[in-house]
Amino acid sequence: MTHREAMLKAKENALKAIELDDTLAEAHTTLAFIKENFDYDPQGAELDFKRAIELNPKYPIAHQFYAGYLVQTGHAEDGLAESKRALELDPYSLALNWYLGHTLYMTRHYDEALAQLQKTLQMQPDYLLARVALGKVYVQLKRYDEALALFRQIASSPNEQAQAMTNLAYAYALTGQRAEAQKMLDELREMYTRGEISNRHNDGNANGYFIAQVYVGLADKEQALAWLNKAFDDHAFYMFFLRVDPVFDDLHSDPRFQDLLRRVGLLQS
């Protein structure tokens, strides 16, 4: 099943569930997530997130995903508060511990993100999402040796190699190892051409959004924007992070990037 098929099926199921019982917080949360990340419909997503929390204020996943929505739409501190609320409701959840670290990263609280992700990895040292997020924090803190070591370590595992490719290529580019970055980039482009595209948030190796990140590292703005437009056309996961992802900070002044933000629903026309 393709990413598009999976999202459409999930949306169909959520709508059916709501039709049968409009008081299901889980169904409203699922529908909100799809509206946000696939339909590019932030207004519709907000309504369903609020409805889910109204129905069940103690449902941590609703707070988690609403936190992401708030951060991505420019309400950073409110988003952090929601992420912390989610974790308060389920303090031993690996996913929620990671997500708070991820939220701190996206809101530029890098030192706090570092501490939170290290805490998460104390709970489970091989937790992939937290390891990758920690590497990204190292990059933003310019602790490149630690970032490269971590991404290489992840890439050495056959089951996790794909997840590390883009991040490692980006780190290579930032540290002047352009030949290594280009070699990995060529492989990523081939994977995209072959249709080996993953849009899951924890496996985005051949997703156009992540390929664009490597081009940012290589200071190739034209290709970065071209691949972001491919990601938009593919409804690639992560596009809704475009406004707040630190990797793309240098593109914000470009009118084409601003237009892309409007098309995703992250800026008013």
What is the distance between the alpha carbons of residues 178 and 218, in angstroms, rounded to a whole number? 7
Q: Domain for residue 202, yes or no?
A: yes
Q: Domain for residue 205, yes or no?
A: yes
Q: Domain for residue 151, yes or no?
A: no
- Mean pLDDT of the residues in the chain: 92
- How many domains does the chain fold into? 1
Of 63-77, 89-103, 226-240, the least confident: 226-240
User: The whole model's pTM is what?
Assistant: 0.92
Q: Domain for residue 51, yes or no?
A: no
Q: Domain for residue 264, yes or no?
A: yes
Report the pLDDT value the prediction gives residue 202, as an integer from 0 to 100. 41
Q: For residue 120, what are its two tokens? A: 């998460």
Q: Domain for residue 210, yes or no?
A: yes
On the question of pLDDT at 68 being above 60, the answer is yes
What burial class does residue 94 get, using C-beta atoms within 10 Å of its C-beta: 0-12 exposed, 13-18 middle, 19+ buried? middle
- The model's confidence at residue 238, banded by pLDDT at 50, 70 and 90, is confident
Domain of residue 179 covers: 163-269
Q: Domain for residue 124, yes or no?
A: no
Q: Domain for residue 212, yes or no?
A: yes
